[in-house]
């Protein structure tokens, strides 16, 4: 019932949008996406193998132009993705966009507020269903459990775009932090913790290069972030902290009838903490992963997709055997990796309506939950699958 009310409200907004399309200084758009989905032999989406309608996305985004160099942009969304991320509404981003300089071949912008992460190939479009290449993005890079943290941060971001004899260069830098709710803290650590995880900061830098007169784009991004745990008065975890260092390499080639893209990452993850029972947490591991994705444009309104995605939680333990010796309880070895192949098809019914479907076969479960404690794991067999069918409308 809540989904029906929400979709009805979004349709009303779409009608209002058409009626007020000529409003000066304000541009706004929205989207509604509803589908059916299921995961077999895992709780990746729901706690059963049943088909569910927990595939809802609805949002409105707007830009208010103050003058030729200053504007404000924001987006409010409602999400229901089952176990993939927290259900409910959230402000994805809300920031002031200051165009510091604009010349013939160079532009510099500063974003202040809850800015969008634009450091990966699809990070700037992952929040809008019709701009993504698939219903779900490759989990090695765009891990659903970190959706809100990875999408935006509260702070400052700087973006520079320049063109010259060597091609087009995009350089981005950002510094901020993202709020983390209590439910997300439990997902990150354990259902038994009573406190909250706080992101102290996230510092990112990226650069992308498109050589002149080519359809190739190459990029690299760096990320460093630290987290601390704020315990409750009575808690199983007395203190804790973690650090993440990430490097991501990206490449994309756009042809007339097809597109090939790939991203590779290496994560160094450090966890430390002290439990009430005297047991200490001291983890230092490096994960590796990435994907390669091919899209073929069969017709102007019909696109096929094939993707191979892989991730290893610890490059020194790619088969996950050491997880079975965890001092916090045995963790099955298949939570140490995750390999996935996805097939998808999208059809544009009109210029504003699309239906998409995809099927994924998965080996392992290393990217559907944080692999630290046995009680924080999301159930999955060594081999499992999921499929989705989603209808989307945008205005």
Q: What's the pLDDT band for 3 if we cut at 50, 70, 90?
A: low
Averaged pLDDT, 303-326: 94
Go through the domains of the chain in sequence order and give each one's CATH number. 2-394 (2.40.160.10)
Span 90-105, pLDDT tens digits = 999 999 999 999 888 9
- Reduced to 3 states, what is the DSSP secondary structure of residue 375? helix
Looking at the chain, list the stretches that DSSP marks H as alpha helix, in order from N- to C-terminal side: 2-19, 147-151, 182-188
- In the prediction, which pLDDT does 204 show? 98
Averaged pLDDT, 72-76: 96
Residue with tokens 């404690």: 373
Distances (CA, A) of 13 to 20, 116, 394: 10, 24, 11
Span 52-65, pLDDT tens digits = 999 999 999 999 99
- In the prediction, which pLDDT does 184 show? 79
Question: Residue 250 above 50 pLDDT?
Answer: yes
* Structural tokens at position 54: 């927990």
Give the largest CA-CA distance in the chain: 65
Q: What's the pLDDT band for 13 if we cut at 50, 70, 90?
A: very low
Question: Residue 122 above 60 pLDDT?
Answer: yes
Span 257-268, pLDDT tens digits = 999 999 999 999
Percentage of the chain lying above the pLDDT 70 cut: 93
């Amino acid at each position: 019932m809540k989904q029906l009310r929400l979709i009805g409200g979004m349709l009303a907004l779409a009608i209002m949008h058409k009626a007020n399309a000529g409003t000066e200084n304000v541009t706004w758009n929205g989207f509604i996406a509803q589908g059916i989905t299921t995961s077999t032999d895992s709780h990746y989406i729901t706690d059963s193998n049943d088909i569910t309608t927990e595939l809802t996305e609805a949002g409105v985004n707007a830009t208010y132009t103050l003058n030729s160099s200053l504007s404000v942009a924001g987006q409010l969304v409602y999400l229901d993705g089952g176990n993939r991320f927290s259900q409910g509404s959230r402000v994805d981003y809300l920031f002031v966009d200051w165009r510091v300089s604009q010349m013939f071949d160079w532009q510099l912008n500063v974003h202040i507020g809850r800015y969008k992460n634009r450091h990966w190939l699809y990070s700037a479009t992952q929040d809008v269903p019709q701009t993504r290449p698939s219903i779900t993005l490759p989990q090695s890079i765009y891990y659903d459990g970190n959706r809100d943290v990875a999408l935006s941060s509260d702070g400052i971001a700087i973006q520079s775009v320049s063109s010259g004899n060597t091609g087009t260069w995009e350089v981005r830098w950002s510094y901020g932090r993202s709020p983390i709710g209590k439910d997300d803290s439990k997902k990150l650590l354990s259902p038994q913790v009573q406190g909250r995880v706080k992101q102290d900061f996230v510092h990112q830098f990226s650069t992308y290069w498109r050589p002149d007169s080519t359809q190739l784009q190459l990029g690299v991004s760096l990320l460093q972030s630290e987290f601390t745990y704020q315990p409750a008065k009575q808690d199983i975890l007395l203190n804790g902290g973690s650090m993440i260092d990430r490097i991501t390499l990206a490449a994309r080639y756009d042809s007339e009838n097809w597109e090939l893209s790939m991203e590779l990452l290496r994560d160094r993850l450090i966890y430390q903490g002290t439990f009430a029972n005297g047991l200490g947490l001291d983890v230092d591991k490096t994960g590796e992963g990435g994907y390669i994705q091919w899209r073929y444009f069969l017709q102007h309104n019909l696109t096929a997709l094939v993707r191979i995605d892989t991730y290893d939680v610890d490059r020194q333990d790619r088969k996950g055997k050491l997880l079975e010796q965890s001092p916090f309880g045995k963790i099955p070895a298949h939570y140490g990796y995750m390999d996935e192949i996805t097939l998808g098809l999208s059809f544009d019914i009109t210029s504003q309506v699309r239906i998409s479907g995809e099927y994924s076969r998965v080996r392992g479960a290393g990217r559907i939950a944080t692999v630290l404690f046995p009680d924080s794991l999301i159930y999955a067999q060594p081999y499992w699958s999921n499929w989705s069918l989603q209808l989307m409308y945008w205005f």
